[in-house]
Amino acid sequence: MEIIVAVVFVLAMGIGAQAASEPRNLYWGCQGEDVASLQTQLNSLNFNCGNIDGIFGPKTYAAVLALQKSSGLAVDGIVGPQTRAAIANLLAKPSSPARNLYQGCTGDEVAELQQKLKAAGFDCGPVDGVFGPRTHAAVVALQKASNIKVDGIVGPQTREALRNPIPKPPAESGTPSRGGSVPRYTKVITMVATAYCPCNKCNYPYTDQTTHIGLPLGHGIVAVDPSVIPLGTRLYVEGYGDAIAADTGGAIKGNRIDLCYPDHQSALKFGIQNVKVYILP
């Protein structure tokens, strides 16, 4: 009997050690080296999450959603075993050096290029797999915006420009009145902005400190009227920074927005202001 008990104890210890070695789930608000590693993997797979800063914020969340959607997984923004397996499978796929693309080329590679140009906000016309004049013009616009050699040829440098955050073209550039550069956007709305924080006073009668779509409250979370800005939309708010439309509020109707700050004093200090809200692609 003692031998059996000992064997069961050893097996239980082994199972516990294995469970303890499992990587933690990653989601909005997580920080650390494992988040930085995730960001590196997402960027290498062309699911752009911006800078590798080890902070799971709006851009990383949007990149995870895009990966989950393209992989046929539950789109919840949480990096658990299934999402990790999907990333591992994509990274394991063999890749051959991509050929340079230029006007006159055709095929799936051109169609993929056109999709990426459109996603980045550079109009190349229909996604038809034909590198014609409009695709050439879009590539030239991308190269100018990215401050790289302008030749209309899609080689390694131009592909890298598509893989990384793309600066706004000079012809459309702008600067918020309180500083900071505006990213590429599809629409801008002037809105009346107020502020709140995760405290019970700001969220009464709700006390669970989560948003309407289940994200934890914190800087980068904003409440909107979903009929004006759909929930889940990525935003850039003048004087506030990158954000995601993740919450609603009884008083947030029409062109109003409520910005979440980490503490009550910061929210009070913000008061009420008119701000420009940039809808990001």
| Residue 66 sits in the same domain as residue 119 | no
| 98 located within any domain | no
* Residue 7 pLDDT grade (very low, low, confident, very high; cuts 50, 70, 90): very low
| Residue 118 sits in the same domain as residue 86 | no
| Residue 198 sits in the same domain as residue 260 | yes
* Residue 21 pLDDT grade (very low, low, confident, very high; cuts 50, 70, 90): low
> Which domain CATH number covers 202?
2.40.40.10
pTM of the model: 0.43
Q: Which amino acid is at 268?
A: L
Task: Write down the pLDDT at residue 128.
Answer: 87
Task: Write down the pLDDT at residue 48.
Answer: 79
What the block records as the tokens of 247 is 């919450």
Between CA 18 and CA 13 the distance in angstroms is 9
List 259's β-bridge partners, or say none: 195, 222
* Residue 201 pLDDT grade (very low, low, confident, very high; cuts 50, 70, 90): confident
The residues, any chain, with a CB within 8 Å of residue 19's CB and separated by 6 or more, are none
| Residue 206 sits in the same domain as residue 269 | yes
Task: Write down the pLDDT at residue 169.
Answer: 45
| 176 located within any domain | no
Task: Write down the pLDDT at residue 82.
Answer: 94
Residue 267 Cα to chain centre, angstroms: 25
| 17 located within any domain | yes
Tell me the per-residue pLDDT of 59-84, one tens digit each, with 9 for 90 and over: 899 889 888 988 889 989 999 999 99
| 45 located within any domain | yes
| Residue 191 sits in the same domain as residue 274 | yes
Tell me the per-residue pLDDT of 203-217, one tens digit each, with 9 for 90 and over: 766 666 677 777 887
Mean pLDDT of 173-196: 68
Task: Write down the pLDDT at residue 216.
Answer: 82
| 174 located within any domain | no
Average pLDDT, the chain: 80
Phi, psi of 234 (to 5 degrees): -80, 140
Task: Pick the last residue of a domain from 34, 68, 92.
Answer: 92
Higher pLDDT residue, 58 or 10? 58
What the block records as the tokens of 212 is 């309407």
Task: Write down the pLDDT at residue 164.
Answer: 67
DSSP tag of 171:
G
List 191's β-bridge partners, or say none: 275
| 218 located within any domain | yes
| Residue 205 sits in the same domain as residue 274 | yes
| 102 located within any domain | no
> Which domain CATH number covers 29?
1.10.101.10
* Residue 56 pLDDT grade (very low, low, confident, very high; cuts 50, 70, 90): very high
Residue range(s) defining the domain that contains residue 265: 187-279
Task: Write down the pLDDT at residue 119.
Answer: 79
What percent helix, strand, coil does the chain show, rounded to 5? Answer: 35, 15, 45
Report the number of distinct structural domains present in the chain. 3
By percentage, how much of the chain surpasses pLDDT 70? 81
